[in-house]
Structure 1
């Protein structure tokens, strides 16, 4: 791509962005409506600081209306009693519509959260479409069971939808995270009330219009934008919500567990914080490939990723060479205009979040961390939400930055002498979302995999996955699993039937 074409393409995206129209009202019972209070909140483009739209600010009254609509249609059976083939057809049409509007959806994501348009187009939208298609096809592939009882009885076990499912999704991958919640819940026959993050409501409201066009019955999908302490808490405490799925911080995840206990003991699935260890041993089979993958694992999506490889644990023998390769790879992630198709790192979600990331780094430096690259905010396009790739060496395990989730493009480098020491260091965390091991020795790899306390362990890879693989964590990284057939565990009950013959 020449510089002229690149500039033209960036201008084209900017002109298209200026013409883009947004859905700004709540979507309840098949209609876009203002919040009951009439209040709105602004959503901003973090890359420019400019206001994008004023969105309906839903509260408990709006959540009540959405849950009532969801419960009503569930009991009528318009969707809950539809055949698997009918549900498959609607979700497949919805995936087709999402695919047909991929560019506008990708642009909406980029404007709302500051990520590069190249990533919205090549990662977020294809992943969201694949998720919908995967669960549409899974609907009629999940069989019940016949229990091995005596000849005088017939006992069956089948999955049944729970009823109303609430989902609260984060701002780092707004559409993708929404699909991992919505798709299995809808495929199983549930009705859904979903709250997007207040920082990123626009793509999910646009998606609601597509769901309506695809033929999803009114009330089956409801979108209630708003703030966590209002709409989110109301969903957590609502007695008619039978299951709730949340992705976000550990502190909020714990709050949802309390809400469930204080209300109706609803099923709760949580995908929360992470501080994933990325272990590279002296016998790593390809240092250059591992360095490139390690850079992408922390700098892709501005480091705003729950399973980012934020703790790099290097065996001493390869440390110098590996860091040289890593720093070269990091240069590819220079922050820039998200609408430029060649930009690989955009803006953080807000100036406030950028300030928080900067604060982590400043405190780490005062504690003795040594910056190898980055470590200072980067002003761009009149916004204070840009932060460069940052690598900090001389990190000790007791430092705040080694223990807390930064959720930004900040890599902590730690040094070990043995594989056993690396495992102890990796497990010295309240989080247990993911970990990676790079070694050519399979015996070492599998011994370490068995010892690592993480929901996912990659061997000679990092941040790899597929819809067929369950995703979730251990310890304070949460409970339950997204993706794969195991996601149905979050949104269904097992129902046993005993027939006396």
Structure 2
């Protein structure tokens, strides 16, 4: 057995402050809402007190964004907007280590993920969209694409900084101004991003960041001064947003939940597939809307694959998110841990066979061991409902047609994976799978140049790439 010596990152690098204020009209100001305390999910310690917004603060932010749009940002040439966006991208890269440590403290994800995935990709989104700012007329979206105005954006807690970049960068590139509400449990990196925006000398009001709970997000998306709504989060909240905005003429993008199928055919390279399966469901503790939470395996290789999968998952290290050796960090909140536990118990009660990684768990914090269910039927809750945790459900199939039928037997449609050595089978399956993103012999690969989004209860609209620009333009 390999023994790994602790390799902790220095938490002082996060430059954690005792309190943070919201960012409105170019200044950090106290909000009128009840302050919240953000908690480190790995230790349950309070990290900082955060000022939150109320209804009047939302109104002030939207009006500030409207003034900035009418007077400055909406009229500014694209090449000039690009300079600001490039500057933000560079400053994120310069402060990458600080942002990564802060993200792991606030969110619970392993430092190697925030360091190697979240922060570099956030910077890449600003770099990529800066390049589009003066080329919108050549994007194939019409001869005279124009910005929409004020974008109200609400982001989740699983990728706090990356989701902020994902939303803000295209909005700015297209000439819109922004009011963004970060998740209640993970506001810190968004507020450091506000510091970067202020240091980049972005005109006041172009970006406003208002921490708060769900009532702040509801107030923002329903505000009459908001022209575009972009939401990433749960399907239930997405349905509420769509219902509240019906007939109001606002442009809306919803990126919601998922129950992705990872389909392994009998000719797949099994060792490679196992790595993709592990990455697909245990990356970020399974807190990924496009996580490969349903594994569909051809019967003839199912036993061999499951044996290899158990062996590989047994090697995953669970523990301190700031330890560079940690593979699986902490669940983001006690509420989410309770939900995961309840759904796992339902899988056991419905007759699925549960296997749990033998890894030791820390005594403190919100941790859940990687879990694999086999003998799962399509009727079980663990095969139908989004668990949003490190829990994998394994189903089997005999024919390719059966695999597609089972993969598509879900109200969601965000992502899917295909594992086979045959290129023709990849193309055939990709065309049959009802999912917005289909990976072949890999999983969870993202790029700012590629559009992302879902079908059915996984939402609508696309974010990222040339296609994603349309969501922020009047074409």
Structures share a fold, TM > 0.5? yes
Would you say 1:293 and 2:276 are equivalent positions? yes
Structure 2 partner of 1:269: 253
Q: CA deviation at 1:442?
A: 2.6
Would you say 1:141 and 2:115 are equivalent positions? no
Secondary structure at 2:17 match in 1: coil
Would you say 1:13 and 2:7 are equivalent positions? no
- Looking at structure 2, the residues matched to 237 and 406 of structure 1 have their Cα atoms a distance apart, in angstroms, of 29
- Looking at structure 2, the residues matched to 22 and 223 of structure 1 have their Cα atoms a distance apart, in angstroms, of 18
Q: CA deviation at 1:14?
A: 3.7
Alignment of 1:95-244 (within 5 A): 95-143=89-137, 157-228=143-214, 230-244=215-229
- Looking at structure 2, the residues matched to 414 and 351 of structure 1 have their Cα atoms a distance apart, in angstroms, of 29
Would you say 1:431 and 2:417 are equivalent positions? no
Structure 2 partner of 1:497: none
TM-score of the pair, normalised by structure 1: 0.91
TM-score of the pair, normalised by structure 2: 0.96
Contact 1:48-1:381 within 8 A present in 2 as well:
no
- Looking at structure 1, the residues matched to 113 and 402 of structure 2 have their Cα atoms a distance apart, in angstroms, of 36
Structure 1 partner of 2:436: 455
The structure 1 segments of at least 4 consecutive aligned residues displaced by more than 4 Å after TM superposition are 144-147, 376-379
Structure 2 partner of 1:246: 231
Structure 2 partner of 1:280: 264
Secondary structure at 1:314 match in 2: strand
Q: CA deviation at 1:169?
A: 0.4
RMSD: 1.9
Q: Residues 135 and 476 (structure 1 numbering): CA distance in 2 closer, same or farther, change over 3 Å?
A: same
String of CA shifts for 1:277-296, please: whole Å, max 9, x gaps.
00001111x11011111111
String of CA shifts for 1:358-383, please: whole Å, max 9, x gaps.
11111110100101224x99752522
Secondary structure at 1:171 match in 2: coil
Match of 1:479 among 457, 460, 468: 460
Q: Residues 349 and 44 (structure 1 numbering): CA distance in 2 closer, same or farther, change over 3 Å?
A: same
Secondary structure at 2:253 match in 1: strand
Secondary structure at 1:333 match in 2: coil
Contact 1:336-1:343 within 8 A present in 2 as well:
yes
Alignment of 1:345-360 (within 5 A): 345-360=328-343
Contact 2:316-2:359 within 8 A present in 1 as well:
no
Match of 1:325 among 270, 288, 308: 308
- Looking at structure 2, the residues matched to 462 and 105 of structure 1 have their Cα atoms a distance apart, in angstroms, of 25
Q: CA deviation at 1:145?
A: 8.8
Aligned residues: 474
Please list every run of 5 or more consecutive structure 2 residues that lacks an aligned counterpart in the other structure.
Answer: none
Q: CA deviation at 1:320?
A: 1.2
Please list every run of 5 or more consecutive structure 1 residues that lacks an aligned counterpart in the other structure.
Answer: 148-155, 495-501
- Looking at structure 2, the residues matched to 352 and 237 of structure 1 have their Cα atoms a distance apart, in angstroms, of 27
- Looking at structure 2, the residues matched to 287 and 377 of structure 1 have their Cα atoms a distance apart, in angstroms, of 23
Q: Residues 372 and 111 (structure 1 numbering): CA distance in 2 closer, same or farther, change over 3 Å?
A: same
Contact 1:275-1:311 within 8 A present in 2 as well:
yes
Contact 1:144-1:159 within 8 A present in 2 as well:
no
Secondary structure at 1:179 match in 2: helix
